[in-house]
Chains A and B, each alone.
Chain A
Amino acid sequence: DAKTTQPPSMDCAEGRAANLPCNHSTISGNEYVYWYRQIHSQGPQYIIHGLKNNETNEMASLIITEDRKSSTLILPHATLRDTAVYYCIVRVARPSPGNTGKLIFGQGTTLQVKP
Chain B
Amino acid sequence: DVKVTQSSRYLVKRTGEKVFLECVQDMDHENMFWYRQDPGLGLRLIYFSYDVKMKEKGDIPEGYSVSREKKERFSLILESASTNQTSMYLCASSLAGGWDEQFFGPGTRLTVL
Q: Interface on A for B, CB 8 Å cutoff?
A: 2, 32, 34, 41-46, 49, 87, 92-95, 98-108
Contacts and interface: CB of A to CB of B under 8 A. Distances in A.
Given A98-B56, A100-B31, A100-B56, A105 B99 contact: no
A32 B97 CA distance: 14
Given A43-B92, A95-B97, A95-B98, A102 B48 contact: yes
Interface size of B as a range: 20 to 34
A42 B109 CA distance: 11
Interface string B74-100: 000000000000000010101001111
Given A2-B42, A102-B45, A107-B42, A93 B99 contact: yes
A93 B33 CA distance: 17
A42 B4 CA distance: 12
24 contacts: A41-B106, A42-B106, A43-B4, A44-B104, A45-B104, A46-B101, A49-B101, A87-B42, A92-B99, A94-B97, A95-B97, A95-B99, A100-B56, A101-B31, A101-B94, A101-B97, A101-B98, A102-B45, A102-B98, A105-B42, A106-B42, A107-B40, A107-B42, A108-B42
A103 B43 contact: yes
A42 to B, nearest CB: 6
A103 B102 contact: yes
Nearest to A49: B101
A100 B106 contact: no
B105 A100 contact: no
A87 B31 CA distance: 21
A7 to B, nearest CB: 15
A46 B99 CA distance: 12
A105 B43 contact: yes
Given A100-B50, A103-B43, A106-B42, A42 B107 contact: yes
A49 B94 CA distance: 15
B93 to A, nearest CB: 10
B64 interface: no
A5 to B, nearest CB: 13
